[in-house]
Structure 1
Amino acid sequence: MARRTDTRERVVRTAARLFHAQGYHATGLNQVLAEGGAPKGSLYFHFPGGKEQLAAEAVALAGAQLCAELRSALAAEPDPVDALRAVLGLLGAQLLESDFAHGCPIATVALDAGAQSEPIRAACAEVYDSWQRAIAEHLDRPDADELAAVVLATVEGAVLLARTRRDLAPLHAVGARLGVLLGRPTG
């Protein structure tokens, strides 16, 4: 018999995957439960705040997973420009692997439900803040926080364009300009 926490974790993981691909409003609770292999009665037992609570927790999980991948890619390369190019490569590989169905695991939910739900907006903001902190720590310079915000916004926009166009060219363009963005002399 599965432990109670196994069901809860399975539902959060399933919700994260579905919200990522379909958005908040297009993902039904019955679909989450069916694909997560959870009985109907378990939803409000594990998530008394309903779909909104489930979405906030799914966003936090998906965001933490990508943050760990981001930190790993950054740690593997001491040069910030090369490290961020590696991150772009990772994001591009994820887009290709999903046939452009999965872009940023947070953006779909943030755009779909963040304006109507304070818990979901707060969860999305915390994820974006964690990614920005990871980038800023790797930049290690006085203007790191501000520059990390610019880098994050640029990368997030490139992922959206790449997904929409079904083409990695926006990611490649950002990668080609990272040196200029980060103040590396051209030459």
Structure 2
Amino acid sequence: MNSKNNSREKILNTATKLFQINGFSATGLNEILKESKSPKGSLYYYFPDGKEQLALEAIQLASKSIIERLGITLSKYSDPIEAIKYLISNIINDLKEENKLQNISISLIALETYSSNERLRKVCKDAFTALSNVYTHKLIESGFSKQRAEELGMTIEIMIEGAITICVTRKDTVPLSIISNTIEALLS
């Protein structure tokens, strides 16, 4: 990888992490530059539209990472109940160990930008749809009808995203544990 791509990647990876942890508004460009150890000119060279362009690409990168992780985790079990419980236990462990949202959720940026930035709202919407589709695909593989799998996939995505938001707000993982305990009833 050449140094130009490496510099761009460092800025984008740092922005992705900070946007997921701190949110869009609370993350400043100077903070991104400082943490990525990049000169200011690099940011505007690679992201000429500034913070919004950086956020759009960061959401797409985070979404891709979360979807890949979700797919790998769910593939460890053929039974969707076991797979989703395993996924939730991984999220609980991540929240306990790291107490952050990196590569777990884009909810923070979605919640703070949905009414003020249409481009960011749309890319977040697409990310949430893609996440629901991963659950839907798992359920279809397990024998659920397409319509029922789509309904349940969205329901599971809503439950997990909502539980993550409440967990970080409460600073405990009880909401995710409750979701894990109700997955069997939901999918039976």
User: What 5-or-longer segments of structure 1 have no aligned partner?
Assistant: none
TM-score, normalised with respect to structure 1: 0.92
The CA deviation string for residues 25-84 of structure 1, in whole angstroms up to 9 with x for no partner, is 110001101111111011111111210010011111111111111101111100011100
Tell me if structure 2 keeps the 8 A contact 1:53–1:119.
Answer: no
User: What displacement does 1:95 show?
Assistant: 0.6
Counterpart residue identity of residue 25, structure 2: H
The equivalent residue for 1:102 is 101
* Fraction of identical pairs, as percent: 33
Task: Report runs of 4+ in structure 1 exceeding 3 Å deviation.
Answer: none
Whole-angstrom CA distance in 2 between matches of 1:112 and 1:43: 23
> Aligned with 2:63: secondary structure?
helix
Question: For 1:144, what is the secondary structure of its paired residue?
Answer: helix
- Once residues 112 and 52 of structure 1 are traced to their aligned partners in structure 2, the CA distance between those partners, rounded to angstroms, is 13
Segments of structure 2 that go 5 or more residues without pairing to the other structure are none
How many aligned residue pairs are there? 182
Residue number in structure 2 paired with 1:158: 163
> 2:64 matched to 1:64?
yes
**Counterpart for residue 111 of structure 2:** 111
Number of the residue aligned with 1:139: 139
1:41 alignment partner, SS class: helix
| TM-score where L is the length of structure 2 | 0.92
The residue correspondences of 1:165-180 to structure 2 (distance < 5 A) are: 165-180=170-185
Instruction: Encode CA deviations 1:124-155: one digit per residue, 9 max, x unaligned.
Output: 11211111111000001221111100111011
For the residue of structure 1 that corresponds to 2:74, the secondary structure is helix
CA-based RMSD = 1.5
